[in-house]
Amino acid sequence: METPTIMKQGRVVPWVYVLPALLVIILFIVYPMVNTTLLSFTDRTGNGPAANECIQGQPCWGAFENYRYALTNPEMTTALRNNALWLLIMVPITVVIGLIVAVLADRVSYESLVKSLIFMPMAISFIGAGVIWRFMYAIQTGAGQAQIGVLNAALVAAGSKPVAWLSTQPINDFALMMVGIWLWAGFSMTILSAALKGLPSEVIEAARVDGATEWQLFWRIMIPMILPTITVVFTTLIIIVLKIFDIVFVMTGGNFGTEVIANRMFNLIVTNVGRSTAIAVLLLVLTIPVMYFNVRRFREQESLR
């Protein structure tokens, strides 16, 4: 007689434990996502239809007018181009630097000191890092004024002219990426170092006994074995770069051709709700495939254990 009751409890009790997490997800993730999507079809006030944003004499996408702006407006194409540039340059360089430091630091006696110095920028907020590097890139344009920016002071001391690092294209894009690399190289190093330390010592020693050089050991043994971890770091950095905002906002405000997607979205949130939320949805669409790939990789790794 007690069996149906026990079976009923077995079906209900798990949901009781999961319910708080589901409520949090619905309240803080699902609802904002749905609301943002609905707002992306409205005008600048968030009340009328998006077609109100149509400009006479220009193509009109009706309800999708805000998406026309997000995909074709010159400011948005600049932002999309810059985000692509960040992906192509910052992500690979950050992973490579993290991997190099992770490999080399294991071979020195002061490993902890080296890794601490590389990881230290991670303790600084993006806003703080932007302020620090603005002083690094600072330039004094007045005649006879001493350069207080570290880089320009070094250039002047070497007999060269100071450079407007943050207002000269395309130097400013690379100058901003340098800050991102400085911040996230420590993250890459930490994850990859843990993966390297987890490699079976028997495999490494067997390869050395078989006559493998350190270069062959690195490319043919270490890299293939930690490739899943490299992929996770790579995809995580892709998501971070797609959402990059703080560095650009603090250092240039998106001016001088450095606009990125998230900064454009932020600048429009007060003046045009429809366009801002359309950009937010576009950013979400760009991020979801990478997140899905990451989750699938995690599941594949778990299935192998």
| DSSP state for residue 219 in the 8-state scheme | I
How confident is the model over 62-114, as pLDDT tens digits?
A: 889 999 999 999 999 999 999 999 999 999 999 999 999 998 887 877 888 88
How confident is the model over 175-231, as pLDDT tens digits?
A: 999 999 999 999 999 999 999 988 888 888 888 888 888 888 889 889 999 998 899
Q: Note whether residue 267 is domain-resident.
A: yes
Average pLDDT over residues 263-288: 92
pLDDT of residue 87: 94
How confident is the model over 249-266, as pLDDT tens digits?
A: 999 999 999 999 999 999
Contact call for residues 250 and 131 (beta carbons, < 8 A): yes
Q: Note whether residue 298 is domain-resident.
A: yes
How confident is the model over 140-160, as pLDDT tens digits?
A: 887 667 888 899 999 998 988
Interior CA angle at 198 toward 197 and 202, to 5°? 95
pLDDT of residue 300: 74
Q: Is the pLDDT of residue 35 over 60?
A: yes
Amino acid type, 29 = I
pLDDT of residue 304: 61
Instruction: Place 305 in a pLDDT band, splitting at 50, 70 and 90.
Output: low
Q: Note whether residue 37 is domain-resident.
A: no
Integer Cα distance of 231 and 24 in angstroms: 30
Helix, coil or strand: residue 162: coil
How confident is the model over 6-21, as pLDDT tens digits?
A: 555 667 777 888 899 9
Host domain of residue 80: 45-51+59-281+290-304
Q: Note whether residue 213 is domain-resident.
A: yes
Write out the two tokens for 216: 């062959």
Q: Note whether residue 7 is domain-resident.
A: no
Q: Is the pLDDT of residue 248 over 80?
A: yes
| Closest of 279, 290, 273 to residue 237, by C-alpha | 290
Instruction: Place 3 in a pLDDT band, splitting at 50, 70 and 90.
Output: low
Instruction: Place 302 in a pLDDT band, splitting at 50, 70 and 90.
Output: low
pTM metric for this prediction: 0.88
Count: domains in the chain: 1
Q: Note whether residue 161 is domain-resident.
A: yes
Q: Note whether residue 24 is domain-resident.
A: no
Place of tokens 């190099």: 100
pLDDT of residue 10: 65
Other CB atoms closer than 10 Å to residue 111's CB: what's the count? 13
- Distances in whole angstroms, Cα of residue 285 to Cα of each of 112, 118, 157, 261: 40, 33, 48, 12
pLDDT of residue 66: 92
274: CATH: 1.10.3720.10
pLDDT of residue 208: 86
Q: Note whether residue 35 is domain-resident.
A: no
Interior CA angle at 253 toward 182 and 258, to 5°? 70
Q: Which residues are CB-contacts of 245 (< 8 A; sequence separation ≥ 6)?
A: 126, 260, 262, 263, 266
Other CB atoms closer than 10 Å to residue 208's CB: what's the count? 14
How confident is the model over 116-143, as pLDDT tens digits?
A: 888 999 888 888 999 999 999 998 887 6
